[in-house]
Every structure is written in structure tokens, then in C-alpha cells.
Structure 1
Amino acid sequence: MSLVERIKMLCNEKKVTFAEVERKVGISNGQIRRWDNSSPKIENVQKVADYFDVSTDYLLGRTDKKRYYDLTEKDEKEVEEELQRILNNAETNFGFAAFDGKTPSETDKEDYEMYVSAMRDAIRLHKRLAKKKFTPKKYR
């Protein structure tokens, strides 16, 4: 997928046009479409990447990972380990995985799964925010 195709896909996701992106980032009209036939300035590619909150490597097709702070397989494994540690700790210290003061067997299974899912999402969000905050600029 070319640079322009990736930008077009991002525009469709965000429901904006090339012209709107060009105006917002401060590049000349029709510039993005010309990138199929000519090499863009790296500063302009960086501006577009910043606008869409993606990495320049993603725009240039060097990776399919949109953001440098997206979670890797290793990160996902760590999320699951942390979730299990929290659930085990709750069960060990309180005699149950705390959910409305009931054990998982007494709790509606669907409610308990939503509780665990919310905890998993919170751990993922925290991990992404930490990666975004603490990743050195040289890796962006």
C-alpha cells in the first residue's frame, strides 16, 4: 500500500478529505495527491502522521503497526499476567475475586466476564499511556 493509499484510508476512517488534512497541517493544496509521483518532504509526512496520531513508519509502509505505543504480543501477554495477578491477589486476600461481594460462582457469569473485561481494558489503556509517555523520541 502506498503512502497516498494509507493516508486515504486514514482520511476515510476519520471522515475527512485530503484538502481538510492539508489545511489543518499547513501544506499546499493538492500536495498529498502529488506524493504518488514525487517524494514528499519528511517534515510534511511528519505533520500528516501527527495529525492522524500514527507513526511515520506506518505511513511509509515500513510497519503495519499504526502507533509506536500500540501493544505488542509481549505487552498483551504482560496484560494477561497482570490481570491474573490481580484476580489471584483478590481471591487470596479477600477469599474471592471481589465483585459485588460475591464469589464468581454466585455472580452472574456475564456480569463477572464484563468485570474482568473492564479490568483488562484498564490495564491495556494504562500500558499504552505509559508507552506513549515514556517512549524516547528516537523510537517515534
Structure 2
Amino acid sequence: MGDLYKRLASLCEERGISGYKMCKDIGIQPSIMTDLKMGRRSSVKAETADKMANYFGVSVGYLLGTTDEKEKPLVNGDEELTEYLEILKTRPEMRMLFSLTKNATKEDVEKAVRIVEAALGK
């Protein structure tokens, strides 16, 4: 049983959930947890580690045992920016919106905001 499994099991216990539930919630095969527990594997793909870390709100480094710091570091020390980047990373529709507007001018963005606000009734 490796460090990754121990940390995952501990995080699941803290949340009061099973490893099976965590796997189902993030869309990975539950056999991954079994393989980690039985020592048939000691690591997971980077994408899987990222999903696991995001699920628990911890850094990948913590999950993999390279640091004991659970908290994800802030981007440029800015909590709001870190949260926005996390949303961009995890929501495909937000990524699409960002990719469409990344080269927009300030005026373009302000116009788009007014349109979105009107559509949402704000």
C-alpha cells in the first residue's frame, strides 16, 4: 500500500465517503483504488491525479506525497484568480467562452458582459 492510497483513504475518511464513491464522482474506474490498495499500482495518470486532487481540494503534490501542504497554492497570491482558473479548468463551457474571448478588447468584453447579464436577467 503506497503513499497515494494512504492519502486518498485518509481524505475519503475525512469526508465520510468511500473510495468507490470518490471514483464514481470523478468518473474513473473504482478498480484504480483497489489496485492502489493491493500494491498492483503505485501511481495514476497525471489527469487522474488532477481530478482526485480537485475533488478533495488539495494540491497534486500533497496527494502524491511530495509535500505535506494540503492547500493548493494561490495563483499570484490571489484567491479570486485561483478560483476563476479552477473554474476554467473544470468547466468545458467556460473554457469555450474564454477561448472565444481571449483576444477581445476591453470594449468587446464589456459588451459581452452586458449581453450575458441581460440574458440572465441581472
Q: TM-score by structure 2 length?
A: 0.56
Residues 69 and 132 in structure 1, CA contact (< 8 A), matched pair in contact too: no
Match in the other structure for 1:87: none
Task: Note the alpha carbon deviations across 1:81-117, whole angstroms, 9 max, x for none.
Answer: xxxxxxxxxxxxxxxxxxxxxxxxxxxxxxxxxxxxx
When the two chains are superposed, the root-mean-square deviation of aligned CA atoms in Å is 2.3
1:31 aligns to what SS in structure 2?
A: helix
Once the two structures are TM-superposed, the CA of residue 2 in structure 1 deviates from its matched residue by 0.3
Summarize the alignment of residues 72-91 of structure 1 with structure 2, pairs less than 5 Å apart: none
- 2:62 paired residue among 50, 58, 61: 58
1:31 to 2:32 alignment? yes
Match in the other structure for 1:42: 46
Match in the other structure for 2:4: 3
State the identity as a percent.
Answer: 31
Residues 59 and 73 in structure 2, CA contact (< 8 A), matched pair in contact too: no
Once the two structures are TM-superposed, the CA of residue 67 in structure 1 deviates from its matched residue by 1.2
**Unaligned stretches of 5+ in structure 2?**
86-122
Q: TM-score by structure 1 length?
A: 0.49
Match in the other structure for 1:105: none
1:51 aligns to what SS in structure 2?
A: helix
2-structure distance, mates of 1:131, 1:64: 21
Once the two structures are TM-superposed, the CA of residue 9 in structure 1 deviates from its matched residue by 0.4
Match in the other structure for 1:132: 79
Once the two structures are TM-superposed, the CA of residue 34 in structure 1 deviates from its matched residue by 1.2
Runs of 4+ in 1 over 4 A off after TM superposition: none
Higher RCO, 1 vs 2 (CA within 8 Å, ≥6 residues apart):
1
